[in-house]
Every structure is written in C-alpha cells, then in structure tokens.
Structure 1
Amino acid sequence: MTDRLPHPPLRADALDNRARILSAARALFAAEGPNVPMREIARHAGIAPATLYRRFPTKQTLVAEAFAEEVRACHAIVEEGLADPDPWRGFCRVIEKTCELHAHNQGFTEAFLSGLPRTAEFSEGRAYMLRSLAELADRAQSTGRLRADFVLDDLVLVLLTNRGIRAASAAAHVSASRRFAALMIQAFQTSPERPPLPPAARLAPARPHETVRATAAAGSRK
C-alpha cells in the first residue's frame, strides 16, 4: 500500500477565498445561528457558491471549521477547571468562562446544544467536554460545596438561558452574562455565602412582537 500523497499547498487566491468564507460564516453563524443557507454565506463572502463548495463540500464541514476555535477554547476552559486543586473553584470558573465565551458567539451555543455539526471531530470534542464537566461536578460535590442534587443538565439550562440574553451592546452582553453566571453559582452552592454580584448591564428592550405578547398576557390576567 502506498502512502497517501500530501495535499498540495493552496494558492494565495484560494487561501484568501477560504479566509473570506470562514469570516463570513463566523459572522453569520454568530448573528443567526448555524442554519444560515450556504448561498447566503457565499454572498457575504463575495464569492460564487461553486467556490464555497469547492472549499467546503458540506455545511457540516464549514460549521465545524468555523467553530473550531471555540471548541479549542472550551477544551482549555474545562482542562483549567480540572487542573485546579480546589474543585469548587474550578467548577465556578468553568461556568463563568463558558458563559462569557458563549456570550461572544451565540451561534456556537446553538451548535453545541443542538448537536451540530454532526462531524466526528466536533462530536468527539463535545462528548469530551461533557465527560470532563461531569467529572469536575463530581469532584465539587465531594467537597460538599456543590449541592448534591446538581445534575449535568443544569449546566445545559444555564447555557440555554445565557443564550437568551440580549443587551444594548456587546460589552453589556458580556457583563450581563457574568452577572447571570454569578447568580447561577450562588444557586448551585450549598454554602449560604452571598458575595456581591458583578455590576448589572443595560439590557436591550424587548422585540416588538415580544412586547405585544407580554401586554396581551398581562391583559388576560386582569
């Protein structure tokens, strides 16, 4: 059996197209989630759809590559938490840093929680993180500081709720996410300690259709 020949290096124009595709994909995924049509990504990248499909034959491969940096960042956060000699402190830091990471890119939250993309590399990375988080939670519970009825799905609820934060600016979004993470940590702990919360952030007003729903709901309760 002959060795597989290495792929020839990409030409400068091909590298430029690839960078433009990934830049457009990351921006659209962050704003609209990973279900953005491929043609829309090609249009934002300023290239023909055929060029997009030459670089990324499937949507799955594009989503996996676009979120590769976030996956590596998640790995680093969880590994840092596991390496902390104080499991409760490591657990808290994982919640804080994960919420902040997901606040920067809500498209990644959707991809992570929905199981997209369904590629071996992304699936293995997600499974590794969940196993590691379960191990860290077990260690934190063994110290008596993490409540005994905590389950891993509680962290999924944290990410789902964190995804729903809408703030007046990107900086306010991160600030709101930090405050939310602090509230969740206080809910998870067994100790009655209540350290001061991070500063509150200016949140974005509700969208028009949400205001209508809220008004209608209030009227129905009268």
Structure 2
Amino acid sequence: MDRPLRRDARRNRDALVTAAREVLAERGIDAPLEAVAKRAGVAIGTLYRHFPERGDLVDALLEEKVSAWTGLARRSLEAEDAWDGLVRFLEETCETQARDRAFTELVCLSHQDDRSEMSDLVERLMERARSAGALRADIGPIDLAYFMMANSRVAEADPGQWRRHFRLMLDALRPPAPPPGG
C-alpha cells in the first residue's frame, strides 16, 4: 500500500514534473534527465527516486497532454461553423507543436494510427467540414497527420514560420473554387 508522500517529497515531485514539462517542451523527450533535475533544483538521485525510468516521467506528462488535446477537439466540435471548428483544432494543435516538442513526439505522432477517442473526434471534425462543403472530399485522417508532421518540422526549423505554413496547408484542404461563370 502506497503511503502519501511527505510534504518535501511531494514538493520535489511536483517540481520535477514542472521542470520536465518545460525541458521536454524545449528539447524533446530525449532531453537529458540531468537538465530536468537541474531545472527542478534537485539532485539526479531525487529524480530517479520519484521516476525510476525515463518512461515514468514521460507518462506523468502524457496524460495531461492527451487530455488537453482531446478537450480541444471536443470544444472544436461545438463550433457553430464546421470549417471554423476544424481550423480552430488544427491551429491550436500547430501552435502547441511550435512551443512544445514533447507534445508532438508524445501525442501527435503516436496517435496518428490508433483507434483512440482522439481519432474518432478528428474524424467527426473532418466529416462535419466535409458535409458543409468546406473540406475536400479526398482528405482523410492520414492527410491531417502528415499536415501536423510537416508543421512540427517547420516549427522546429524556424519557429516564426509555422503560421505561414499553416495558412498554406489550409488552402490545400479547401475544395477548389468553381470555375468562373460555371
């Protein structure tokens, strides 16, 4: 049976999670754990006492990232305009990617092929936009996964350019305009 953590141990654990959130956002999930411990103001041994393996620390962050992303998708489904809802979801996802490498590595790329709640929500966002005539009929979930992969690379290479890339990609998702006079 697990005992509650002492106050100082709880404080150290919370500091480690906060530091991991920051360091992994900046440097990705392969960031040195020593950098996490240093940012938290604790010794590396303290980190390993709370998180014996890197995966334990990553798991502490994964749930909050997935929960936030799923919440975004749900809120986006509530948009009155289907295209606006899809754009909101994509733009906020891309913005998160630009500031949080761990989000991209842990959440976006790892959930592109599974049948999670997130996959279902994305399909619903797309179907709403497609039914409204705002999304090309031939665009599928894998296209959005590639969209997000491409955005993550743009954001990593030149963080100031992701919004331009985002707008270009949105243009590619829209159905072509009917020919003039036709």
- Superposition map of 1:99-178 within 5 A: 99-115=94-110, 127-166=116-155, 173=159, 176-178=161-163
1:70 pairs with 65, 72, 76, which one?
A: 65
Kept in 1, the 8 Å contact 2:130–2:136? The answer is: yes
- Cα distance in 2, alignment partners of residues 106 and 39 from structure 1: 18
Q: Are residues 1:183 and 2:172 paired?
A: no
TM-score (norm 2): 0.80
- Cα distance in 2, alignment partners of residues 185 and 80 from structure 1: 20
What's 1:215 paired with? none
**What is the Cα deviation at residue 63 of structure 1?**
0.9
Question: Can you give the 5+ residue segments of structure 2 that lack an aligned partner in the other structure?
Answer: none
Q: Are residues 1:81 and 2:81 paired?
A: no
- Cα distance in 1, alignment partners of residues 151 and 99 from structure 2: 11
Higher relative contact order (CA 8 A, sep 6+): 2
What's 1:203 paired with? none
Kept in 1, the 8 Å contact 2:97–2:155? The answer is: no
Q: Are residues 1:25 and 2:14 paired?
A: no
**What is the Cα deviation at residue 73 of structure 1?**
2.2
TM-score (norm 1): 0.67
Kept in 1, the 8 Å contact 2:62–2:107? The answer is: no
Letter in 1 for 2:163: R
Per-residue CA shift, 1:127-164, capped at 9, x if unaligned? 22122101211221122221011011111112212112
SS at match of 1:103: helix
1:97 pairs with 69, 78, 92, which one?
A: 92
Ranges of 4+ aligned residues in structure 1 off by more than 6 Å:
none
SS at match of 1:144: coil
Aligned residues: 176
Q: Are residues 1:61 and 2:56 paired?
A: yes
- As a proportion of its length, which structure holds more helix? 2
What's 1:47 paired with? 42
Q: 1:25 to 1:93 in 2, by over 3 A?
A: same
Identical residues among aligned pairs (%): 35
- Cα distance in 2, alignment partners of residues 37 and 176 from structure 1: 27
- Cα distance in 2, alignment partners of residues 33 and 106 from structure 1: 5
SS at match of 2:12: helix
Q: Which range is displaced more, 32-41 or 102-111?
A: 32-41
Letter in 2 for 1:161: A
**What is the Cα deviation at residue 165 of structure 1?**
2.6
SS at match of 2:162: helix
**What is the Cα deviation at residue 34 of structure 1?**
0.9
Letter in 1 for 2:134: R
**What is the Cα deviation at residue 17 of structure 1?**
1.0
Larger Rg: 1 or 2?
A: 1
SS at match of 2:139: coil
**What is the Cα deviation at residue 14 of structure 1?**
0.9
